[in-house]
Structure 1
Amino acid sequence: MPMNTRHRGDRRSLSVVVPLAPGETEWQGLLLQLAALPAGSEVIVVCADDESRPPPKSWPARLRYRECRTAPGRARQQNLGARLASGYWLWFLHADSRLRSDTLCELQRFMAEDADALGWFKLAFRRDGPRWTVLNAIGANCRARWLGLPFGDQGLVLPRHRFQALHGFDELARYGEDHLLVWAARHAAIPLRRIPASLETSARKYARQGWLSTTLRHWRLTAAQAWPAWRELRRRRA
């Protein structure tokens, strides 16, 4: 996947890629928080519709804001954002993500360590869904820490050259493009690093679709992808 090579020498430059689904309404709250990014960072919102999404009026001049469009599909949208990115680091955020007070500080520390790794954050759910989602957060954090399987709502961040070597997100996958990227990183022996800060995500889908049915569906789909990926990893290491 050819990518922009500007700022390759600035190993702390950051590009944030935010895919927006058609009709997405959660993105503005995230953008207000991203205004606190370090100078020279850029935010790329990748829309899957024709709606204009300008930055907030208070958007700081020290940050670059870019809006682009492609056909729907989070993998396709994130790949386009990565191709347009100029930063050394790529940080993929969902539109319903929210930062906590220590998120950016710990992210910058991770970047400053020049870790040639795929970083991820501890997951927490916002209070816009069933209270039982606290169990989902515990499960997600245990899965990421002990099984090495963080998902996209945990804010995956990695050097752009590493993302390029992995050939980006799988645009043919019907779901779980983030899950597949993590498996690809494991196959390539790229270290996975926990960043000691939290990132919040919305629990609205659990409210709309039901906590139990949504949880069981996620388990089923994850297992369906993880089993062949694990077998392939075991075969390569044999």
Structure 2
Amino acid sequence: MISIIIPVLNEASTIEELLFHLVDNAELQNISEIIVVDGGSTDGTQEIIAQLDLNIKVLASEKGRAKQMNAGARIARGNILYFLHADSFPPNRYDKYIIEEVGNGNNAGCFRLQFDHNHWWLRLASWLTQFSWRACRGGDQSQFITKALFQEIGGYDESYTIYEDNILINELYKRNEFVVINQKIRTSARLYERHGIWKLQYHFWAIYVKKWFGASADDLLAYYKKYIA
């Protein structure tokens, strides 16, 4: 059984579409629950969810995706945890693909990525995510992981306000516990549209390189706040 965990903060524009997408594209007997963990939305996100007849669990949490996802994991009943960003839409029968991989002994992984934008660089970046290279990984691809392995690692590192997905992914790569499912998850390019594709990509690369050379969680957050947030 899969517990889907979605951290949100002011996602009124996408949350209804995403929740219906998750229900419509899965065999519901495979889904233990959908848990939306809200970090303090002020745009009506929680009210939108409450109006839907979908039996969604809404959990309040301190802001910060790592803290929110850990909070969702703590109450999850499924033996597979599936962490999903609010603007990413997994493929049809995503549940089947995840369960098949776990059944094959692959305890963690993600889908390949497809941006909802036709710029050649984003199409190339999307194409590269089919490969197993660690540099091609990110939270927008979503993350499935068995609850047992998640607890063994200790969950998401809450000292990271950004880059928390990559910290967990690094731990999985160290254990040779990662597989890329050759199906596409569609994610929003809204941050690229807001900042400009090349400018944002430069800053993402800078964050990656800074971490490679030993930057702390606070250093990465300060850079993100200065140039992206």
Query: Residues 1-238 of structure 1 correspond to what in structure 2 (within 5 A)?
Result: 13-36=1-24, 37=26, 38-39=28-29, 40-49=31-40, 51=44, 52=46, 53-54=48-49, 57-59=52-54, 65-101=56-92, 103-113=94-104, 115-127=105-117, 130=119, 132-142=121-131, 145-147=132-134, 150-187=137-174, 189-228=175-214
> In 2, Cα distance between the equivalents of 1:146 and 1:82?
27
TM-score between both structures, scaled by the size of structure 1: 0.78
1:190: how far off? 4.2
The answer to whether the 8 Å contact 2:128/2:136 transfers is: no
CA pair 23-157 structure 1, distance change in 2 beyond 3 A: closer
> In 2, Cα distance between the equivalents of 1:161 and 1:112?
14
Show structure 1 runs of 5+ residues with no match: 1-12, 230-238
> In 2, Cα distance between the equivalents of 1:105 and 1:116?
14
Counterpart in the other structure of 1:10 = none
Counterpart in the other structure of 2:219 = none
Counterpart in the other structure of 1:232 = none
> In 2, Cα distance between the equivalents of 1:55 and 1:196?
34
> In 2, Cα distance between the equivalents of 1:207 and 1:131?
14
1:116: how far off? 4.5
> What are the superposed Cα offsets for residues 92-138 of structure 1, whole Å, 9 maximum, x if unpaired?
0000011233534322322333x2521111111013x7454212323
Q: Work out the percentage of aligned pairs sharing the same amino acid.
A: 26
What is the aligned residue count? Answer: 208
> In 2, Cα distance between the equivalents of 1:186 and 1:98?
24
CA pair 103-226 structure 1, distance change in 2 beyond 3 A: farther
CA pair 83-206 structure 1, distance change in 2 beyond 3 A: same
> In 1, Cα distance between the equivalents of 2:11 and 2:51?
18
> In 1, Cα distance between the equivalents of 2:76 and 2:93?
25
> In 2, Cα distance between the equivalents of 1:165 and 1:69?
25
Larger displacement relative to structure 2 (170-179 or 133-142): 133-142
TM-score between both structures, scaled by the size of structure 2: 0.81
The answer to whether the 8 Å contact 1:16/1:90 transfers is: yes
1:148: how far off? 6.9
Q: In the alignment, residue 22 of structure 2 is paired with which amino acid?
A: L
Q: In the alignment, residue 206 of structure 2 is paired with which amino acid?
A: R
The answer to whether the 8 Å contact 2:66/2:156 transfers is: yes
More helix per residue: 1 or 2? Answer: 2
Q: In the alignment, residue 125 of structure 2 is paired with which amino acid?
A: N
RMSD of aligned Cα (Å): 2.3
Runs (4+) of structure 1 exceeding 6 A deviation are none
1:43: how far off? 0.4
> In 2, Cα distance between the equivalents of 1:150 and 1:72?
23
Show structure 2 runs of 5+ residues with no match: 216-229
The answer to whether the 8 Å contact 1:17/1:90 transfers is: yes
